[in-house]
Amino acid sequence: MQELRQEEKAKLDRYLIDFDTDNLPCEFYDVVIIGSGIAGVYTALSTPRNAKVLIITKESIEINNSVLAQGGIAVSLDQNDSPSLHFKDTLYAGAGLCDETAVNALVTEAADNIATLCLYGVNFDRDDDKRLSLTREGAHSMNRIIHTGDATGKEVCDTLVSAVSGLDNVTIREQTFAIDILTEDGECKGVLTSNEDGTKLKAYFAPVVVCASGGYGRLYSKTTNPEVANGDGAAIAYRAGAELMDLEFVQFHPTVLFHPDNQNFLISEAVRGEGALLRNNKGELFMEQYHPMKELAPRDVVSRAIFQEMQKTGSNHVFLDITHKDKQYLEHRFPMIYKTCLSYGFDMSKDFIPVAPCQHYSMGGIKTDEWGRTTVRGFYAVGEAACNGIHGANRLASNSLLEGLVFGRRIGLQVKENLNQIKMREGFKPKISYKKQWKDTDIDVLSMISKLQSIMNLNVGIIRSKESLCTAMEAIDKMKNDVDGVKVVHTQFMELKNMLTLSSMVVKAGLLREESRGAHFRSDFPASDDKNWLKNIVFQGGFQNA
């Protein structure tokens, strides 16, 4: 296990701003959940109804990565399929770094959670016999992806948000920015928050805090992620003393629409699952040169293949070809994708779709066990914000929404089993404060964020090297020095500080992993050495005793 050096920890501020809980407005809950995607909302639905629960989200409740998920949810329902085959495929895609205990929980508890979604009213596509329709995506050996057209995430999220909004025990606070986890003697006590512009602070006290804030795709300039996904959750967890793991494993989706006016619209892997082929700019098929599973190889393989094919042919994109399917089928199976492509001048039934890889998912995050527990007592993480070892070095397609469901319910069970002990005593108010001498320096925050994203995109992408990673590290260190000790005056500055903290560790992990494995590919270490590298890189939380 690799730990951050003590002298580097000393440069970090425990909290981003000065505060004193004695002078702040406050509210009391049993559970506070940061994030309103599927993982966070399903966790709230899984907690007992006599628990007082708060969901906070820094934008509106509709803005999250879950809503953008097109493909579907993996679950072994076919008579020829089984959890053991799903387990095997997950481990294969994860390139030797999956935690088998967590993966076993994922695949064996999948069907029960899907049944729960159906009871909530999620309208999955069904065949003529009213059975759930199953399709295939990359690295799956069987058809096991259930879906709602090409907007599965939105259908599931809308249904769950509607359900949780009707619960008397759940409160939802929008436009609420989580600044830091409040801790006392290494134990979670709640969340310090601000309003949208950072002018009004508030403390939400709770013995259980669940981070479901999503990943860190917005560290990159080209990403399919919404603006909220900039790694705040991992950064605040780290300052609170939680461990972070597998940060170097950043997944690039192979097929994102390539158009001058739109380079972040995802063309679901399910399109390849339905038979779409990849062609280079000469119209030639090429995937058989890279992997026996061709278009349905693991995502990291397909992304690198496209990247290398683009370099060979001097092109900035390749093409996705599903012209062998008729218009009626495509409009029904992929209504959103078909409509969007058409709006940019591409008729999927007649035209090849220009595509290129783009940052999509974060395998790394806040380290948890198979019950969502972090190394800080009372603090949990779930969904893309968490790293429980399920995805290893490369996520298997459509395991992400499933992960949020399975481990959201598991956290709910933890709350249920311990509710008598954790039940918040109304009026019990920990006394927590922080004060530091800050510098008043003007910082062009938006310019620095843009610069950081470009640095990450250019140097910490699909193919990295020691040289590119060191270039990124030098630039990020300079930016960190520029903002070190500067007084935070608004939430965008908080986001910048979080992004710098996290991007620095992503790069450091990339430098430490001197091999190519899964989504982490180094041109100076093209071959993996399984004997030496079946291990994870973990960063110890900066302030374990705070």
CATH number at residue 311: 3.90.700.10
CATH number at residue 232: 3.50.50.60
User: Exposed (0-12), middle (13-18) or buried (19+): which is 9, by Cβ within 10 Å?
Assistant: middle
Please indicate, yes or no, whether residues 221 and 258 belong to a single structural domain of this protein: no
Convert the pLDDT of each residue in 161-182 to its tens digit: 999 999 999 999 999 999 999 9
Closest CA to 395 of 180, 55, 91, 47: 91
Please indicate, yes or no, whether residues 127 and 74 belong to a single structural domain of this protein: yes
The pLDDT assigned to 427 comes to: 59
Please indicate, yes or no, whether residues 117 and 211 belong to a single structural domain of this protein: yes
Confidence of residue 541 (pLDDT cuts 50, 70, 90): confident
Please indicate, yes or no, whether residues 242 and 276 belong to a single structural domain of this protein: no
- State which of 358, 376, 406 marks the end of a domain: 358
Considering the domain boundaries, does residue 543 fall inside one?
Answer: no
Structural domain count, the chain: 3
CATH number at residue 446: 1.20.58.100
Predicted confidence (pLDDT) at residue 258 exceeds the cutoff of 60: yes
The pLDDT assigned to 263 comes to: 78
Closest CA to 95 of 315, 262, 256, 304: 304
Considering the domain boundaries, does residue 112 fall inside one?
Answer: yes
Considering the domain boundaries, does residue 540 fall inside one?
Answer: no
Convert the pLDDT of each residue in 218-253 to its tens digit: 999 999 888 889 999 999 999 999 999 999 999 999
Whole-model pTM? 0.92
| 205-231 exposure pattern, b = at least 16 Cβ within 10 A, e = fewer | bbbbbbbbbbbbbbbbbbbbbbebbbb
Please indicate, yes or no, whether residues 233 and 353 belong to a single structural domain of this protein: no
Considering the domain boundaries, does residue 544 fall inside one?
Answer: no
Active-site annotation, residues: 299
Please indicate, yes or no, whether residues 410 and 443 belong to a single structural domain of this protein: no
Considering the domain boundaries, does residue 263 fall inside one?
Answer: yes
Please indicate, yes or no, whether residues 128 and 235 belong to a single structural domain of this protein: yes
Considering the domain boundaries, does residue 492 fall inside one?
Answer: yes
Q: Distances in Å between the alpha carbon of 498 and those of 235, 443, 503?
A: 5, 15, 9
- State which of 340, 358, 376 marks the end of a domain: 358
- State which of 358, 373, 390 marks the end of a domain: 358
Considering the domain boundaries, does residue 512 fall inside one?
Answer: yes
Please indicate, yes or no, whether residues 279 and 318 belong to a single structural domain of this protein: yes
Range of the domain at 40: 28-249+363-422
The pLDDT assigned to 546 comes to: 32
Please indicate, yes or no, whether residues 80 and 193 belong to a single structural domain of this protein: yes
Please indicate, yes or no, whether residues 124 and 204 belong to a single structural domain of this protein: yes
Please indicate, yes or no, whether residues 76 and 195 belong to a single structural domain of this protein: yes
Considering the domain boundaries, does residue 314 fall inside one?
Answer: yes
Please indicate, yes or no, whether residues 283 and 157 belong to a single structural domain of this protein: no
The pLDDT assigned to 100 comes to: 97
Could you give the CA distance from residue 227 to residue 205 in angstroms, rounded to a whole number?
A: 27
